[in-house]
Chain A
Amino acid sequence: MTDVLDPPVHIEHHGEGHEEHHGPTGILNWLTSTDHKVIGMSYTVTAVIMLVIGGAFAEIIRAQLASPNGTLVSLAQYNELFTMHGSVMIYLFAGPFAFGALANIIVPIQIGAPDMAFPRLNALSYWLYLTGSITMLSGFFVAGGAANFGWVGYAPLSNSLNTPGSGADLWIGGLLLTGFSAIFTGVNLCATIFYLRAPGMTMFRMPIFTWNMLVTAILILLAFPVLTAGLIMLYCDRHFGTHIFSVAGGGVPVLWQHIFWFWGHPEVYILALPFFGMVTEVIAVFSRKPVFGYKGMIFATLSIAALSLGVWAHHMFTTGVVLLPFFSIMSLLIAVPTGIKMFNWIGTMWKGQVWFSTSMLMAVGFLFTFLVGGLTGIYLASPPLDFFTHDTYFVVAHFHSIVMALVLGAMAGLFYWGPKITGYLLNERLGKAQFWFLFLGTQVFTFPLYLLGLYGMPRRVGVYPADPQWKTLNDISTAGAVMIGVSTIIFVVNIVVSWKKYPAGDNPWDAQTLEWFTTSPPPHHNFYRLPQIRSERPTWDYNHPDHRSLHHGEHDVHGVHESEEAPA
């Protein structure tokens, strides 16, 4: 296609960007590589394994709850399972998958950089993540079992009196390692985005995904050190006789909640923003349009980041010692930038030539599921409603709508960028089957939980009263969980059957951003040459010189702007 065009410019990039790489191969390559693509791939594989492990825990939990007096696991084991399900999914899957796996691979390519700014620090991040994951999961193999105080580790339940045994210490240790891993990745992403952009790639030409990763990285740097400090205090309370979180020695148990949620709520946006970015890219590409409201999108992301530091205590309304109006107002305000994002996603699709590939289906599934989770979040930001639903399944349903939306976003990202990373496409038919199982399974799984919560079923219980209505709703939810499990199996089968079967080419989606300009997979140091960058869609401009993007503030000087071409 490009041979009939008159390309704007062919320039060799960066003195050392295109030399051949002669490093070690095989396992030694895996151990020593500092190439962001190899590290990102290691992250991807590890994070997907964590998703499967955490998902297996979830299936056991749902099987236990399928009957009121389930006997599949003991109640002690049930405590370990829900703790480790939450911990694995939040700490070891969602975050590392977003900023370790996809951001690591995609961000440098999207801004035309040869690698991350600190390649060896990047490799260290991965090793800390892997060893942290092993540390946390090894709790299952020590006497007393894994951590069992919930993924939030509330004091005083997490002190050495109430939770003796080394499972809890392994949980703390694993979190310390993965916390440092996240901090180093945050530093790396900031430095990469600030210093390694290609000429002409101004801040307001960066793809939305890269912008969201920048804001995520800033939030990581604000939030994760607080968690690390809190964990060290918790360890000191457990082993060195300090009384930071115990009333007996003059400490304050609620302080743990303050520290934990001061990390924990920005963490929610650290998890969500990368997936917002992925979905934005996917929707724009598969609607054959530029992102609607590009700058509005960026300012919405920045406002979410700004507000995220002032909402932590909406997790603590029922403690009775937090300033309810402040946290309620701030939490409700978050709905405004998030609503702008929703509007822009729909605006991007509006009158576009929408191509319902698997990736696009996953992104649209994300929009719906995230909307459900977001709207119920607005309920929970209101203290009177929160007093009524706190610690019930309503809250569980709310955040599972959110995180399952993120899983849909993750799948959108994998189907979209997978061909760029591996050079091969996945099977679309199996992908669509996976989408329907995942999307419908999610709704079947979460909707009964909202009702259960309103009927008063508390979270974190392994047995419940033999009320027929509760049992029916739990059974429906378990059926949804099974559908989600089936979707995961379809995904694994898809990887196996389409292994190196469908070569992707450099730009299978006719996409817009810089990563689609290079080969699939990209060479060592990413680019043989770079196009001239004059908008946030350099690859599109290069491939469609008669339909170039309008610059910001520029009027229609190239004839009809391509987004206006679609039939009205």
Chain B
Amino acid sequence: MKVEAKVLLSLGTFFGLMCAVYWNWSLENAGGVMMFAGMLLCFLPGSYYYWWSRRMKPRPEDNPQATQPEGAGVIGTFPGSSIFPFVMGMGAFFVVLALVFGIWLLVPGLGLVVWALLGGTAEGRRGGHH
């Protein structure tokens, strides 16, 4: 966890320094704001990982001497198949087409999106297919 945190925090620090130099030198706001936001985007997950890395034991994947049995057990849920990503994708497709061809396409678009959200959530609670 420590290395992950360090990667993000050092990127964020560099963006912060670059932002300070750029903004003070150029007085141009668009780039300054975007660099500042880039710094925040690195600090947010980076500080979360750092916080946890100081409070948890090193995971097997952080331990250079780990053996494979240490990783045994359920490590997550991996649904083998699900129709809802496709439904959601088609919904997003119709929503975007509504921007071009007419607002009425939002009806099937948002319908599919809502269906996929409900169906996908329900499927997730059941554990999905394997």
B122 within 8 A of A: no
What residues of chain A have their CB less than 8 Å away from a CB belonging to chain B? Answer: 9, 11-16, 19, 21, 23-24, 29, 31-35, 114-115, 117, 119-124, 126-128, 130-132, 134-135, 166, 169-170, 172-174, 176-177, 180, 190, 194, 196-205, 214, 218, 221-222, 226, 235, 255, 258-259, 262, 302, 305-306, 309-310, 312-313, 321-323, 326, 330, 524-525, 529-530, 532-534, 551
Contacts of B80 in A (CB 8 A): 21, 23, 33-35, 524
Majority SS at the chain A contact face: helix
Contact B14 A218, beta carbon cutoff 8 Å: no
Contacts of B30 in A (CB 8 A): 255, 258-259, 262
Contacts of B89 in A (CB 8 A): 124, 126-128, 130-131
Cβ-closest chain B residue relative to A113: B75
Contact B41 A221, beta carbon cutoff 8 Å: yes
B93 within 8 A of A: yes
Contact B11 A305, beta carbon cutoff 8 Å: yes
Contacts of A203 in B (CB 8 A): 3-4, 7, 62
Interchain Cβ contacts under 8 Å between A and B, 30 examples:
A11-B68, A13-B71, A13-B72, A15-B74, A31-B86, A32-B81, A32-B86, A33-B81, A123-B82, A127-B86, A127-B93, A131-B92, A135-B93, A135-B97, A194-B49, A199-B63, A199-B67, A200-B68, A201-B61, A202-B64, A203-B3, A203-B4, A218-B7, A218-B8, A258-B30, A302-B11, A309-B35, A313-B31, A323-B25, A524-B80
Cβ-closest chain A residue relative to B73: A15
Contact A11 B3, beta carbon cutoff 8 Å: no
B56 within 8 A of A: no
Closest 8 CB pairs of A and B: A127-B89, A199-B60, A123-B85, A11-B68, A199-B66, A131-B93, A197-B61, A203-B3
**New A-B pairs, 13, CB < 8 Å, besides A123-B85, A203-B7:** A9-B67, A13-B68, A23-B129, A35-B81, A120-B79, A127-B90, A169-B99, A173-B97, A199-B61, A200-B61, A302-B10, A309-B15, A330-B18
Contact A131 B83, beta carbon cutoff 8 Å: no
Contact A322 B28, beta carbon cutoff 8 Å: yes
Measured between alpha carbons, how far is A33 from B83 in the docked complex, in Å?
8
Nearest-neighbour CB distance to chain B for A164, whole angstroms, equals 13
Contact B21 A326, beta carbon cutoff 8 Å: yes
Contacts of A166 in B (CB 8 A): 100-101
Q: Which of A29, A135, A169, A170 contacts B81 (CB 8 A)?
A: A29
Cβ-closest chain B residue relative to A23: B81
Contact A173 B96, beta carbon cutoff 8 Å: yes
Contacts of B100 in A (CB 8 A): 166, 169-170, 173
Contacts of B73 in A (CB 8 A): 14-15
Q: Which of A130, A196, A258, A551 contacts B31 (CB 8 A)?
A: A258
Cβ-closest chain A residue relative to B75: A14
Contact B92 A11, beta carbon cutoff 8 Å: no
What residues of chain B have their CB less than 8 Å away from a CB belonging to chain A? Answer: 3-4, 7-8, 10-11, 14-15, 18, 21-22, 25-26, 28, 30-31, 34-35, 38, 41-42, 45, 49, 60-76, 78-86, 88-90, 92-93, 96-97, 99-101, 120, 129-130
Contacts of B3 in A (CB 8 A): 202-204
Nearest-neighbour CB distance to chain A for B5, whole angstroms, equals 10
Contacts of B38 in A (CB 8 A): 222, 309
Measured between alpha carbons, how far is A198 from B61 in the docked complex, in Å?
6
Measured between alpha carbons, how far is A255 from B76 in the docked complex, in Å?
44
Nearest-neighbour CB distance to chain B for A563, whole angstroms, equals 21
Nearest-neighbour CB distance to chain A for B129, whole angstroms, equals 7
Contacts of A135 in B (CB 8 A): 93, 96-97
Contacts of B101 in A (CB 8 A): 166
Contact B76 A117, beta carbon cutoff 8 Å: yes
Identify which of A21, A123, A530 gathers the most chain B CB atoms within 10 Å of its CB: A123
Measured between alpha carbons, how far is A172 from B64 in the docked complex, in Å?
47
Contact (A326, B75) CB under 8 Å given A127-B90, A128-B92, A135-B96: no
Measured between alpha carbons, how far is A315 from B120 in the docked complex, in Å?
43
Contacts of A533 in B (CB 8 A): 66
